[in-house]
Amino acid sequence: MVKIQVEGLGEIKSNEGLSIFDLISIKDKVMAKRAVLAELTLKNGLKGFADLSFKINKDLKIKLLFPEDEKSIDTLNHSTSHVMASAIKDIYPEAKFAIGPSIKNGFYYDFEIDSAISPEDLKIIEDRMKKIVAANYPFERREVSRDEAREIFKENPYKLELIDDIKDEKVSIYKSGDFIDLCSGPHIPSTGRITAFKLLSIAGAYWRGNEKNKMLIRIYGTAFFSKEDLKEYLDRIERARLSDHRKIGKDLDLFSFHDEAPGFPFWHPKGMIIRNLILDYWRKVHEENGYQEIQTPIILSNELWHTSGHWDHYKENMYFVKIDECDFAVKPMNCPGAILIYKSRQHSYKEFPIRYAELGLVHRHEKSGVLHGLFRVRNFTQDDAHIFVLEENLGSEITGIINMIGKMYEVFGFKEYHVELSTRPDDRIGSDEMWDRAELELENAIKGNNLEYKINPGDGAFYGPKIDFHIKDSLERTWQCATIQLDFAMPEKFGIGYMGEDNLKHRPVMIHRVILGSVERFIGILIENYSGILPLWIAPVQAAILPISDKFSLYSEKIYNILRGGGFRVELDSRVESLNKKIRQAELNKIPLMIVIGEKEQQSETVTIRKKAGGDIKNISIKEFLNIFKENVENKKTSV
C-alpha cells in the first residue's frame, strides 16, 4: 500500500503498481483525462516529470500538469516530433533519425535520407501524421539494457552514438504504433492528444552542430492543444515575416550587408539618423544618472586578455592580429579597457560609485550559418557601462540600474519584461565564496525591487552571475537585451583598489551592465516591433508633404521650409503623380505622417494630416500642427 499526496485532491491510498492515470481516476476521472503529465516529488525532495502511465511503487507527491502549463506544451511538441518521425519513416523507410527535441514555440527532428525533401513534401508528411494522430497510439515507455538498445537501433549510427554517451545501465525507449525511439521522455498519454500542429520549414543541420560531421535534414514544426492557439501562432509568424527587419532595412535604405564583409553591417544615412537619435537619448539619460562617457581602443594586447580570463574562456570567439611582431586581439568586450582607465590613477573611497559608460564597438567571431541580419552580426556596438562600487552600496546601485532599464524600455514602447537570474557556469573564474556573495546580492536586489524572476542555472558570465531582462514585443516575442553582471573576480585578477577611510587599500566590486545590449540588434528589434513605422521621434523621415497637383507646389514648399526650419525631417513629393500614388509610396516608405495639400488647405493656410497608423486630422493650422508635432517628438511618444 502506498500513500500519494496529489495537489488539489489530497491524499490517495492505493496498492502498488497502479499508474498515475488510474490512481487519479479513483478520485476524479475528468481531471485524469484532462491531465497531460505529472511532476513527482520524492520524500528526499528530488523532483522529476513522468508520463501518466508511470507505475507508482512508493510514497510520493504528485502535481498534475494540464494543457495550459508550459511543461505540458513542451511535452506536446516533443511528442509531436515523434509522430513526425514516425510519418517520415513510413514515407521514407531508409530514413535514419538523430535527435528530435522540443524547442521554444515548437519542435524539430534531424534525420538522414538519400532523397531530397522539398517544402511541398511537408504536406505529404502532415497528412501521414494526421493518420497517426487519428489512430490514437499510446506512448509506451520501456527500459532496456544498453546491449538491447544497441540491437534495436543497430542500423542507426546516430542512435548508437547517443547510446554510447548514456552512463546508466538501463536505457529508456518509447513506442507509438510501430515507431520506436530512443528517448528519456516524458510524453503525452497518446498521439490522439495532438489536436493542432503544423510543419513549418526545412533546413540543414550538422550532426551535433559540428561542421565536420554529416549534414542532416531538419524539419521544424509546432503543436498546440487547440486549433485557435495554432492559428494565433501562425498569424503571429506571418506578421513577423512581414515585419522582418532585413527586408524593411533594405526597402527603407537603412542598412545593408555585403559579401566583402560578411556579418558586418553597413549603415546608410537614414539608418544613421535612427542610430544617432537613439544614442543621443542614451547619452542624455546616462549624463542625468551620473555616468561619465569613455572610449577604449578596439585592439588590445593578448597579455590583457590572458589577465582578464577571456583568453581561457572566450578565445574561440575572438579575432587576432600581429602588430610590430607582438600579438594583439580585437576586443570582444569592453570591460578590460574600462579597468585600465580605472587603474590609470589612484582612487579614494569618497569617489564611489565610479560609473563609466561606453558605446564600445566589439567584434566576435560568429559562424556564417548563424548570422542573421542585425540580430546576429560579427561587430556591434554595446551600450556598456562598468561601475566600480563599494560592496556596501551594491544594493542601491543595482536598484538605480533597474530603474534606468525600466525607464528607457518604456520610452521605446516596451512595457512588459521578465527577469532571469543566471547563476554560475561550470567554466568560470573566481572562488565559490565570491560567487555565493554575488548571487545572493543579485537575488536580494531582485526581491528588493519586487520583480518576479526565475533562476537560469549555469548561464552566468564566466566572471560573475547576472540579471537578464527579457522584453516582449508587439508580436509576443521575447528578447534578452539588458543585463546586470556582478563581478568580484576581475577586480582581483587586475589587482585594482582604492584608499579607504582607514587609509588602507581595499578592493572595489565591479558591475558590468548594458541596457539596449547590442545597439544594432536593438534597432532590429525596434524595426520589427513597429513593422518599420517607427515612433515620430526616431523615424528617419517623419512626414511626407503631398501636393495634390502642381498648382499647390509653392504652398507645399512653404510648409516644407517651415518644418525643415523647425528641425523636422520631412520630404516633399513633387512628382507629377496622382495623390493615391503618392500616398501609396509614403506608406511603402513607412512614413508616419502624410501632409496633404490641396485647394482648401492653400486657401485657408492649413494642412490635412493623414496618419500611417490610421485617422486623419483635417484643416489644422500650421502653428497648431507644429505644436502637436513638437510635443510628440519632445515627449518621445510611441504613437502619433
- Any idea which residues carry the catalytic annotation? 335, 364, 382, 384, 386, 466, 512
Q: Which amino acid is at 194?
A: I
Burial of 201 (0-12, 13-18, 19+ CB in 10 A): exposed
Strands (E), 342-441: 354-363, 379-389, 417-422
Q: What DSSP state is assigned to residue 64?
A: E
Q: Which amino acid is at 124?
A: I
Asked if 81 contacts 199 with a C-beta cutoff of 8 angstroms, the reply is no
Grid coordinates of 158: 546516430
CA nearest to 559, candidates 631, 608, 617, 630: 608
CA nearest to 498, candidates 355, 346, 340: 346
- Strand-pairing partners, residue 388, are 354, 510
CA nearest to 126, candidates 16, 188, 200: 200
Strands 60-65 and 2-6 turn out to be parallel
Site of grid cell 561550470 = 426
Q: What is the dihedral of CA 242, 247, 252, 255, to 10 degrees?
A: 140
Rounded-to-integer distance, Cα 70 and Cα 104, Å? 10
Rounded-to-integer distance, Cα 313 and Cα 315, Å? 6
Q: What DSSP state is assigned to residue 138?
A: B
